[in-house]
Structure 1
Amino acid sequence: MEGVESCNGRHADADDRRTSKKDRRTTWASAFILVNNFMQYTAYFGVSTNLVNYLKYRLHEGSKSAANDVTNWQGTGSITPLVAAYLADAFLGRYWTILLFMAISVLGYGVLAASAAAPALLHGGAAAFYAGLYLVALGSGLLVVMAPFGAGQFDEADEGERRRQSSFFNWFYLSLNFGSLVGGTVLVWLQTSVGWGIGYGVPAIFSALSVAVFLAGTAAYRRCQPPGGSPLTRIAQVVVAAARKHDVEVPADASLLHECCDAVDGMSAIQGSRRLVHTGQFRFLDKAAVETAGDKAEPSPWRLCTVTQVEELKCVLRLLPVWASGIIFAAAYTQMTTTFVLQGDTLDPRIGGFKVPAAVLSVFDTLSVMLWVPLYDRAIVPLARRVTGHDRGFTQLARMGVGLVILTVAMLVAGTLEVARRRVIAQHGLYGDDGDGGYLPLSIFWQVPQYVVVGASEVFTFIGQMEFFYDQAPDAMRSLCSGLSSTSFALGNYASSAIVVVVARATARGGRLGWIPDNINRGHLDDFFWLLAVLCVANFAAYLLIARWYTYKKTVD
C-alpha cells in the first residue's frame, strides 16, 4: 500500500502551528517534484532534440531512415505513459511506479552515454544504442505519473490548497519548458561542438541526479492514494453487469441503487477512492447497480456493481469527447515543427554576422510559455477570480476553450505572414533559389509573433488539460486518465501528417503543384494555414457543445 495519510481532509489541523507545518511540507514536496521534473525533461530533450543527427552522422543512417526511426521512437514513448499510469493506479501506487521507471530511465541514459562515448567497448554499438534509446522511451512513462503525484500533495478539501493545486499545474508545465529549453539548446550545443560522448553523458547525469532529488523529498511527500486494483477490470464488470441486466428497469430514485454497505466517511469500496454522486447520463449503465433477487442469492462483481464503480465508467466516457477535441488542437500546434519551419527556411535568417536556423525560432514558443505562466498565475487568475467568483478564476473547460481560440489566432497570424511572403516573391520574381543568397528579402523574425501566440495557447489549453483530466478522473484512475490526455497529442501528430497528405494530393490534381509542393515558393501555404484556422474554428464549435453537455464529477464528502 502506498501510504496511510488521507488526501481528502480527514486530518484537518485545528492548531495554527500544525497548519503552518503542513503548508511548509507541501511547499517542500512541490519543490522537490518541480526540480525533478526539470531534470527529467532536460535529459529527455537533450536526447530527443538532436537524435536525428546522431542517427545520420554517427550511425550513418540515411535521412529517411533516421527520420522514421525518430518518429517510431517517439511513438513508442507516447504509449509507455499508459503502461506506467496503469501500474500506478492498479498495483504499485504513484511513488513506487515513479521510482521503478526512474531506474529504467537511468539505465537507458547510461547505455546511451556509454555507446556514444565508447561504442567499441559495447558489443554491437548500434544495437546497444537502440537498446538504451528504447529503455529511455519506456522510462519516460514516469513523466505522466509525476503530475498527478505532485497534485496529490494538496488537500482538495481545503479551498486554499485547491487554489495552490491549480497553481501547481502551471509551475509544473513551466519546469517542463525550462527543461526543454536547456536540453534543446545547451545540451545540443555540447553534442555538436564538444562531442556526442559528453553530449549524451550530461543527460545521464541529470537523470541520475533527478533520482537523488526525488528520494530527498520522500519524507515530505503525501503518499495518500493507494493502488485500487485494475481499473480496466472494474470497467469491464460494469459493462458486463449492465448487459446482463439489459431488461431490468432502473428505479427513479437513485438512492435505491447499490452502494457498498460498509462505505463510510464518503469512501467507497474501491481502496483510496471517494464515493461518487450518481449522475443521470448514460442511464443504461445504471442497470449494473440495480440489485435483483439473483444478486442476493449469488453475489458477483460481474452481475452487481456499486454506484461509484458505475460512475467511474461514466467519468471516463465524459472525458473522451474532451480528449478528442485535443487532437485537432495538437494537429495545429505541431505546425511549429513542420510548416512553420518550411516557411522560415525561405526567409532571411541573418542578424549581424550570425544566421538563425528556422527550427531555433521555436525557442520563442518556450519563452512565451515562461512569460505567460507567471502572468496567468499571478495576474489573470486573481482578476478572473474577482469577476467569476470561481476559486480557480476560470472553470477548467473555459480555460481550455480560451486556448483553442488563441491557437486559431496563431494560424491566422501564420497565414497573414505567408500572404506577405508570397507578395514579396511575386514582386521580386523569387520563385526558385535565385533570391538574395537563397533567402527572401524578408526577415525570419517576422515569424516570432506566431510562435509567441502558440505559446500563449499552450498555457491555457495544455495546462488546463492536465488539470482537468486529473481533477475529473475518479480517485483511483487519475494516473491513467492523465496518461490518456497525453495520447491526444500523439494522435494530433498523426492527424497533422494525414491532413498534409490529403491536402497535398487533393490540391495537386490536374498537373497543378498544389498547396505544399517541394518548392513552397510556388505553393499556397497561406491556404493551408487558412484551412487549419477553419478546422480550429469547427473544433471550437464542437467543443462548446461538449462543454455544455459535460457534467462535472461530484464526490460524497
Structure 2
Amino acid sequence: MDEECQISKSSRYVNWRNKPAIEGQHGGILAAFYVLFVEVLENLAYLANASNLVLYLSKFMHFSPSSSSNIVSNFMGTAFLLALLGGFLADAFFTTYCIYLISATIELMGLLILTVQAHTRSLEPEICSSTNRNAKCQEAEGGKEAVLFIGLYLVALGVGGIKGSLPPHGAEQFDEDTIHGRKQRSSFFNYYVFCLACGALVAVTFAVWIEDNIGWQWGFGISSLAILISIPMFLLGSTVYRIKLPTGSPITTICKVLVAAILNSCFSRNATNAVVSTHPSPTSNLRENKEEDGKAKEEVTVGNITEDLRFLNKALIKRSTFPTFEVTIKQVEEVKIVLKIFPVFISTIMLNCCLAQLSTFSVQQSATMNTTIGSLRVPPASLPVFPVLFIMVLAPMYNHVIIPFARRITKTEMGITHLQRIGIGLFLSIMAMAVAALVEKKRKRVAYQDALMNSKEPLPITFLWVSLQYLFLGSADLFSLAGMMDFFFTEAPFSMRSLATSLSWASLAMGYYLSSVLVSIVNHVTGTFSHKPWLIGSNLNHYHLERFYWLMCVLSGLNFLVYLLWAKSYKYGSKCTNGSNEIQMLCKSSGV
C-alpha cells in the first residue's frame, strides 16, 4: 500500500500541552470515561430546567400555554442549533477541548442570572390575585422579560457549544485504524445517549421535585452547581485526552468548491474541451493546458475523481479569463461527502419535531391529569422518567445483546447499519404520534363526561396514559440520536467531523423550530376556516390537540417514505485501513 495511506497520527492529534499525542498514553476508554461522566452533569444542568421550563413560564412568568410552548421550543431549538457554531469553531480555529471549557463557563453565567431572577421577587411579575381565579395575570415584560431571555439564551449558547464539542471530543479518543477501535467508537455514541439519560433521570425527578416543592431558585441553583462541578471533572482528564488539531474553516472549503463549480459551469460554453490524463500521478494533482484557435486557455485538474455529483468536478477547472480558486481533488471529494449526507439530516427533522412535544404539550397534558401514584404526587415534568428509564435499560442491551446478535446474522462489522438504526427511530416516531392522538382523545372524553371542560381541577384520569407516547418517543430518540452522531462522525471528512456531528443537534433544533412553525400555521389555517384555532387559549381542554397529533403522524409517515428513498440510494464510504475519509481521499488518489 502507498505510504500516503499511512498518515502520522502525531500530525493530527496532540495532548493538552499541544505536543504530539502518544499511542497508548493518550485517548482510549479512560479518556472517554471522563467525557461520559461530564455529559451526565451537563445534561442534568440543562434538562433540570428545560423539562420543566414550560410550567415555570406559565405559572411564574404568566405566559399563555401556547406562548410558553413556543418560548421553550425556540429556546431549545436555539441551543441545539448553536451546536453548529461549537462544531465549526472546534474544527476551524480552536479545539473541542477549548470549546467545551468556554461553553461551560457561558452556560454557568446564564444559569446564575436565572437563579438570581427566581430568588429576587422584584425581578418577577406580580403575583396573581388568589381571590379572583378568573383574573388574567400580567405577563413578564420590560426589564423582567429582558433578564429572563438574557439568562435563557446565555444558557442556550453554552449548551450549543458543549453539544457541538463534547461528543466529537469523546469519539476522537478511539483509534480508527482497527476494527476494534471503530467498534469502541460506536459503543461510545451508544453510551453517550445512556449518559444523557442518566443526567435526565436526576433532572426530571430530584431537580424537578425541588423546583415544584421548594422553589425555582433552588432548581436553577442545582443546575448551576452541576455545570460548575463538570468543569474540574473535565479538566481531570486532560493528561489522557488526545485532541484533534483544527484544520481551517470547513465552511470556507465548502463555499470555495461550490462557487468554483458554479462559475466554471456558467462559463463552460465559451471554453474549449479539456483533455484529461488517463494516467494521473499517484502523489499530486496534475493540470493539463490546452489552447486552440485563439480561445481562452484553461487548466483542468486531473486525477482519480469519483463520478458522484459530477457538477462539483467543474470546480477543478482553472481558467485564464477570470480568477479562480485553487481547488484540489481532496476538497471536491470532501464536499461531495457533505452533500451526500445532508439528505439524511433533512429527513430527521420531522422526527425531532415529534420529540419537541415531550417538553411542551405533553407536559401540559400531564398537568391537567391526576399525577398521584398512591400517596406520592409526581410533578408533570417528571413524566420523561419513563422513557429515560427505558433508554437506560435498552442502551446497554442494544450494545451487548442486539448488536452482537445482529453481527452474527449479517456477518458485518456494524450488525445494524447507521441508516437502519435511524430508520427505526423514524418509524417509532410515527407510532408515538398515533398513540399521543389516541391518549389525548381519551383525556378530553373524560373531561367532557365529568363536566370539567372549563375547570382547572385535575381530571380523574391518571397521567400514566401519557407515558405511552413518551416510551415510543424515548425509543425513537435512542435509535436516531446515537445513529445520527455515529453516522455523521464516521462518514464526514476528517477536517469536518465536529461540524458534521453537530448536524445531529441541528436536526433537533430544526425540529423544535418546525414545531413552533407548525403550531402557528395550524392556528392560522384553522382560525381562518373555523371559528376558533385548534391550539389557542388558556385552557388545554379546549384545544384540538388530538387533531394536531394526527397531522404530525401523517407528516411523519410521509417523511419516512422520503427517507427510505434517500437511504436506499446512499453508498457508505469505502474505508482504507482506518475508516478516515481523509485517508480515503489519499488512497483513491494513490490508486489503492
Q: What does 1:171-250 correspond to in 2, within 5 Å?
A: 171-223=191-243, 225-246=244-265, 247=268
Checking the alignment, whether the CA contact within 8 Å between 2:86 and 2:163 is kept in structure 1 is no
Is residue 434 of structure 2 the alignment partner of residue 432 of structure 1? no
Alignment partner, residue 521 of structure 2: 502
Alignment partner, residue 91 of structure 1: 93
Distance 1:112 1:420, change over 3 A: closer
Distance 1:71 1:548, change over 3 A: closer
Checking the alignment, whether the CA contact within 8 Å between 1:348 and 1:443 is kept in structure 2 is yes
Choose the corresponding residue for 1:78, options 77, 80, 96: 80
The separation in 2 between residues aligned to 1:443 and 1:52, in whole angstroms, is: 20
In the TM superposition, residue 396 of structure 1 has moved relative to its aligned partner by 0.7
Q: What does 1:42-191 correspond to in 2, within 5 Å?
A: 42-51=44-53, 70=72, 73-113=75-115, 131-140=150-159, 141-191=161-211
1:476-496 superposed Cα distances (whole Å, 9 cap, x missing partner)? 111112223312212212222
Checking the alignment, whether the CA contact within 8 Å between 2:349 and 2:510 is kept in structure 1 is yes
AA in 2 matched with 1:173? V
Distance 1:250 1:464, change over 3 A: farther
The separation in 2 between residues aligned to 1:498 and 1:133, in whole angstroms, is: 20
Checking the alignment, whether the CA contact within 8 Å between 1:91 and 1:227 is kept in structure 2 is yes
Choose the corresponding residue for 1:449, options 429, 454, 468: 468
The separation in 2 between residues aligned to 1:359 and 1:508, in whole angstroms, is: 30
Cα RMSD for the two superposed structures:
3.7
Is residue 288 of structure 2 the alignment partner of residue 286 of structure 1? no
Alignment partner, residue 412 of structure 1: 434
Describe the SS at the equivalent of 1:95: helix
Q: Select the structure that is richer in helix.
A: 1
In the TM superposition, residue 42 of structure 1 has moved relative to its aligned partner by 1.5
The separation in 1 between residues aligned to 2:364 and 2:183, in whole angstroms, is: 42
1:499-524 superposed Cα distances (whole Å, 9 cap, x missing partner)? 33333444456645575575665665
Checking the alignment, whether the CA contact within 8 Å between 2:82 and 2:157 is kept in structure 1 is yes
In the TM superposition, residue 425 of structure 1 has moved relative to its aligned partner by 6.2
Alignment partner, residue 32 of structure 1: 34
Distance 1:317 1:6, change over 3 A: same
Q: What does 1:495-534 correspond to in 2, within 5 Å?
A: 495-507=514-526, 511=530, 516=535, 518=537, 525-534=545-554
Q: Which runs of 5+ in 2 are unaligned?
A: 1-7, 14-21, 124-142, 287-302, 575-583, 588-592
Alignment partner, residue 549 of structure 1: 569
1:8-44 superposed Cα distances (whole Å, 9 cap, x missing partner)? 9xxxxxxxxx99x56x951110110001111112122
Choose the corresponding residue for 1:480, options 499, 514, 531: 499
Choose the corresponding residue for 1:310, options 307, 329, 332: 332
Checking the alignment, whether the CA contact within 8 Å between 1:254 and 1:278 is kept in structure 2 is no
The separation in 2 between residues aligned to 1:62 and 1:342, in whole angstroms, is: 13
Distance 1:429 1:510, change over 3 A: farther
Distance 1:480 1:524, change over 3 A: same
Distance 1:207 1:527, change over 3 A: closer
Checking the alignment, whether the CA contact within 8 Å between 1:258 and 1:305 is kept in structure 2 is no
In the TM superposition, residue 390 of structure 1 has moved relative to its aligned partner by 2.3
Alignment partner, residue 560 of structure 2: 540
1:113-171 superposed Cα distances (whole Å, 9 cap, x missing partner)? 566567999xx998677555443332221222110111111111210110110010011
In the TM superposition, residue 198 of structure 1 has moved relative to its aligned partner by 4.0
Checking the alignment, whether the CA contact within 8 Å between 2:440 and 2:545 is kept in structure 1 is yes
Is residue 353 of structure 2 the alignment partner of residue 331 of structure 1? yes
In the TM superposition, residue 257 of structure 1 has moved relative to its aligned partner by 9.6
The separation in 1 between residues aligned to 2:408 and 2:121, in whole angstroms, is: 60
In the TM superposition, residue 236 of structure 1 has moved relative to its aligned partner by 2.2
Is residue 387 of structure 2 the alignment partner of residue 382 of structure 1? no
Q: What does 1:252-401 correspond to in 2, within 5 Å?
A: 256=280, 260=284, 278-290=305-317, 294=320, 302-401=324-423
Checking the alignment, whether the CA contact within 8 Å between 2:54 and 2:72 is kept in structure 1 is yes
The separation in 2 between residues aligned to 1:73 and 1:351, in whole angstroms, is: 32
Distance 1:258 1:342, change over 3 A: farther
AA in 2 matched with 1:38? V
Is residue 7 of structure 2 the alignment partner of residue 5 of structure 1? no
The separation in 2 between residues aligned to 1:341 and 1:190, in whole angstroms, is: 17
Give aligned-pair identity as a percent.
35
How many residue pairs get matched? 519
The separation in 2 between residues aligned to 1:395 and 1:250, in whole angstroms, is: 40
Describe the SS at the equivalent of 2:93: helix
Q: Determine which structure has greater relative contact order: mean sequence separation of CA pairs < 8 Å that are 6+ residues apart, divided by chain length.
A: 2
In the TM superposition, residue 355 of structure 1 has moved relative to its aligned partner by 4.0
1:407-435 superposed Cα distances (whole Å, 9 cap, x missing partner)? 11222222333454566567x46472479
The two structures have a TM-score, normalised by structure 1, of 0.81
The separation in 2 between residues aligned to 1:67 and 1:202, in whole angstroms, is: 23
1:166-192 superposed Cα distances (whole Å, 9 cap, x missing partner)? 010011111122212223332233344
The separation in 2 between residues aligned to 1:523 and 1:137, in whole angstroms, is: 30
The separation in 1 between residues aligned to 2:179 and 2:352, in whole angstroms, is: 32
Q: Which moved more, 1:383-392 or 1:47-56?
A: 47-56
Checking the alignment, whether the CA contact within 8 Å between 2:208 and 2:382 is kept in structure 1 is no
In the TM superposition, residue 449 of structure 1 has moved relative to its aligned partner by 2.3
Describe the SS at the equivalent of 2:502: helix
The separation in 1 between residues aligned to 2:186 and 2:423, in whole angstroms, is: 17
The separation in 1 between residues aligned to 2:542 and 2:382, in whole angstroms, is: 25
1:246-286 superposed Cα distances (whole Å, 9 cap, x missing partner)? 22657777875997559xxxxxxxxxxxxx98432221111
The separation in 1 between residues aligned to 2:441 and 2:69, in whole angstroms, is: 30
